[in-house]
Structure 1
Amino acid sequence: MARSDISTVRNPIEAANGLPNAHYIDAGVFDEERTAVLADNWAGLAVAADVPEIGDAVPLTFLGMPLLLVRDKQDTVRVFQNICRHRGMILVDAPRKIEGAIRCPYHSWCYSTSGKLVSTPHVGGPGQNTHDGIDRDLLGLIEVRSHIWMDVVWINISGTAAHFEEANAELLARWAEFDKPLYHGGANSRFALEVSCNWKLAVENYCESYHLPWVHPGLNSYSRLEDHYHIEAPDRFSGQGTLVYRQLTGEDGQSFPDFGDLSDKWDTAAEYIAAYPNVLLGVHRDHAFVIILDPQATDRTVEHIHLYYAAPTTDLDLRARNTAQWKEVFEEDIFVVEGMQRGRHAVGFDGGRFSPAMDGPTHLFHAWVAARIARRRDATLAAE
């Protein structure tokens, strides 16, 4: 595979170019990023609300890998590779409740919800359920390292990243006030958008407020471009905040209950941060949202959106209005990210230049991606 030239991506913003075209349209580069950017770091997979009750199990595919999200009998959310240790058969092919054990449909090997191999029928011959050559203690499900924060199930596929709290210490400190119970709004507070673009373009667009007047005129009418500020944590995360958050109210003036013990800042402010690589987060005084980007191909991404509240029960009609309002905003971005994707087929495009005043958050994301790729390339060369 010919390596893309990322030599200018990490320059100071005044002299930097964006990532080259290959990072959006080339299958080989997509595979390189699969390891260097997504598998080696803490990526978002799902939300814990996807498995709300003990025994709930949901099969997922991430970067082509079959995974199983389970809430075990101890009420712990776990992620396993969704394969039997015997012959690699898929264990669970549809969401369901695990009443007893996770049973392989091929030869009926069974696993507990904590991943332990508990039954191997006829493994030593007819009627013989054990064999000296099969050590059940060594053949449990392959668990993927995971962590839950903001209800997001974050995974580190390679197992090589620093502990989540260490890797994301600055972000956790910034939003420490929101380290409290978040209540998923339920069926009418989740939706998915299928977008014909590379996943990185969704991150880049989310990072910045520069596009608000033209892409989100409704939003910009009350939370104007000049009301926004950059959030820039080099090599960590980036995004934008607004000093003007307008709380949604119902016909009788009702609103969602606020999160408790927030500082005065949040009376009027809201923040929107891209937690690298693929999770987009938003916090407000009365609700939060999570967007998990599922990179399915160089030019295909699914955005999974979930809304959360400070209390388990809120006004259903108001909640539905809030979901509809956010869906409209996110749908307004689709033509932009899909247009940029098509633009990446323009031969000779150099990755673009950044506005030093307006594109800082996006440049930081490009630089972070380039740094991870460079690190992986250096490690590969050193091992040769």
Structure 2
Amino acid sequence: MTSLGDTKAPEGPRVRSAVARRAAGRSLEAPFYTDREFFGLDIAAIFTRHWIFAAVDAEVPEPGDYTTVDIGPYPVIVLRDEEENLRAFHNVCRHRGARLLDAGRGSAGNLVCGYHKWTYGTDGALRYAPSQPASFDPSCFGLKSVHVRSVGGLVFVCLADRPPADFDDVAARIEPYLLPHDLRHAKVAARSDIVEDGNWKLVMENNRECYHCDGHPELLRTFFPTYGYTEENLPPQLRPAHERYLRADAETRETYERLGLPYALIEELDNRATGFRIQRDALDLAGESFTADGKAACRPLLGGLPTPRLGHLALHMQPNSWFHVVADHAITFSVLPLAPDKTVLRTTWLVHPEATEGVDYDLDTLTKIWTATNEQDAHLVARAQRGISSPAYEPGPYAPTEYQVEAFCNWYITRLREALDDD
């Protein structure tokens, strides 16, 4: 494996003092979102040390299939080898460092560098290097491997020598929720990359609260706007939606129990290295999918599930991903940092492997809700980035409904402190 576990975090006194004085319950100070030194700290302390959601198994279903992802400055290849095992490598040729694969995804029997034609097998071994001397040993120049794990069809990579040890426990707890949907054998219906004009943490924070959900009229057709609220802090205008939620929740719980589907909330967002939250929950209207009327957008259903009225399975993983899995399709979201003020949001829609576009589903109907929501969120994130960049900005207090934003920031600051203490 690569030797990135000892990647050092920036040690400037400005960085250390900002981390040390972070006030609980308030947003982070401006440099965390705007400064390149702090961005370097994020890469070193977060993205090179933790499990990062990178792809789905459905993107590499057959031997030779590959997809690529950039984790900060680290380009990575995820592929299926000749033995049908999942593998990941740094997307860097061992000759003179050229990027090995330019395409975002594809299929190849061998991985051929477009510069000098060094050729690697799907196991990462160097198979051909032209014009080398007799003393050249190809076994010394295989691709640098990266830790990779599939959990219920979701693919995570870790650049560190020693990944967080709690991932096995997390995987064992979330996989029973995912397996009934059989995402491992699903099909990619669509994938979208948008560049948001904001820091990656603003993208994650924005996703962790519904305080702003009145800005998502399409999503709120089915997603209850009461997410994050309690009986004690529920605004009067949300009471009718809450009453509908209680009725839908009671019905879906009966269905989950009858079908033996796990649904209970597990929320460990900031008390462990691999923070996560998972829950199966009700949807509004028909309660089947993220569509204008709440009805399923695709037939057949994932995993051969017996009914479409299963609400949605929501999973959140620190530091860079969230997922919504309904009976008829799944949507994955991956947040990938580009610069202090630039972030890629990658969204992938999955359907049953035998579903046919134009027959079993209409692609626009399938993707419409979350495409609109992503665009709206991108506007809000850019608005936040512009305001935070002002000298007048100072950290403001979180509302009770924003408790998951606080949990994300607490997890993040804890990880930074650990990385700085290691140096």
In structure 2, the residue corresponding to 1:217 is in which secondary structure?
A: coil
Match of 2:122 in 1: 113
Pick closer, same or farther for the CA change 1:85–1:306 going to 2, 3 Å: same
CA contact (8 A) 1:272 1:283 kept: yes
How far did residue 206 of structure 1 move? 1.2
In structure 2, the residue corresponding to 1:333 is in which secondary structure?
A: helix
Runs of 5+ consecutive residues of structure 1 not aligned to the other structure: 125-129
Structure 1 letter corresponding to 2:199 = N
Pick closer, same or farther for the CA change 1:82–1:226 going to 2, 3 Å: closer
How far did residue 179 of structure 1 move? 6.4
Structure 1 letter corresponding to 2:99 = I
Pairing 1:70–2:79 present: yes
In structure 2, the residue corresponding to 1:296 is in which secondary structure?
A: strand
Structure 1 letter corresponding to 2:19 = I
Indicate the percent of aligned positions where both proteins have the same amino acid.
Answer: 26
Summarize deviations over 1:218-246 as a string: whole Å, max 9, x none. Answer: 43355432366696323212488753343
1:247-326 equivalent positions in 2, closer than 5 A: 247-248=288-289, 256=298, 257-260=300-303, 267-313=309-355, 315-326=359-370
CA contact (8 A) 2:355 2:361 kept: no
Structure 2 letter corresponding to 1:36 = A
Match of 2:268 in 1: 233
Q: How many residues align?
A: 363
Match of 1:151 in 2: 153
Match of 2:386 in 1: 342
Match of 2:193 in 1: 192
Match of 2:282 in 1: 243
CA contact (8 A) 2:331 2:347 kept: yes
Moved more, 255-264 or 71-80: 255-264
CA contact (8 A) 2:153 2:184 kept: yes
Distance in 2, Cα, partners of 1:147 & 1:298: 28
Match of 2:205 in 1: 204
Match of 2:409 in 1: 366
Match of 1:224 in 2: 224
How far did residue 117 of structure 1 move? 1.9
RMSD: 3.2
Summarize deviations over 1:299-332 as a string: whole Å, max 9, x none. Answer: 1111111112345315444443021222112222
Match of 1:47 in 2: 56
Summarize deviations over 1:115-147 as a string: whole Å, max 9, x none. Answer: 1123344322xxxxx31xx43333211011111
Distance in 2, Cα, partners of 1:167 & 1:85: 35
How far did residue 164 of structure 1 move? 6.9
Distance in 2, Cα, partners of 1:317 & 1:311: 12
Distance in 2, Cα, partners of 1:114 & 1:234: 35
How far did residue 162 of structure 1 move? 2.7
How far did residue 171 of structure 1 move? 5.2
CA contact (8 A) 2:148 2:158 kept: yes
Pick closer, same or farther for the CA change 1:153–1:122 going to 2, 3 Å: same
Pick closer, same or farther for the CA change 1:91–1:277 going to 2, 3 Å: same
Summarize deviations over 1:235-263 as a string: whole Å, max 9, x none. Answer: 21248875334325899x87534445879
Match of 2:238 in 1: none
Which residue, 155, 174, 177 being the options, matches 1:175?
A: 177
How far did residue 379 of structure 1 move? 0.7
How far did residue 49 of structure 1 move? 3.3
Moved more, 298-307 or 106-115: 106-115
Pick closer, same or farther for the CA change 1:229–1:71 going to 2, 3 Å: farther
Distance in 1, Cα, partners of 2:389 & 2:33: 9
Structure 1 letter corresponding to 2:367 = T
Give TM-score scaled by structure 1 length.
Answer: 0.82
Distance in 2, Cα, partners of 1:288 & 1:217: 21
How far did residue 170 of structure 1 move? 7.0
Structure 1 letter corresponding to 2:377 = D
Pick closer, same or farther for the CA change 1:301–1:344 going to 2, 3 Å: same
Distance in 1, Cα, partners of 2:168 & 2:67: 28
CA contact (8 A) 1:279 1:290 kept: yes
Distance in 2, Cα, partners of 1:307 & 1:182: 13
In structure 1, the residue corresponding to 2:371 is in which secondary structure?
A: helix
Match of 2:233 in 1: none
Pick closer, same or farther for the CA change 1:33–1:227 going to 2, 3 Å: closer
Pick closer, same or farther for the CA change 1:106–1:331 going to 2, 3 Å: closer
Distance in 1, Cα, partners of 2:222 & 2:128: 61
Pick closer, same or farther for the CA change 1:221–1:255 going to 2, 3 Å: closer
Structure 1 letter corresponding to 2:316 = A
CA contact (8 A) 1:228 1:240 kept: no
Give TM-score scaled by structure 2 length.
Answer: 0.75
How far did residue 103 of structure 1 move? 3.3
Distance in 2, Cα, partners of 1:354 & 1:228: 12
Pick closer, same or farther for the CA change 1:336–1:49 going to 2, 3 Å: same
Match of 2:239 in 1: none
Distance in 2, Cα, partners of 1:143 & 1:67: 9
Distance in 1, Cα, partners of 2:23 & 2:152: 30
Distance in 1, Cα, partners of 2:334 & 2:28: 22
Distance in 2, Cα, partners of 1:27 & 1:74: 42
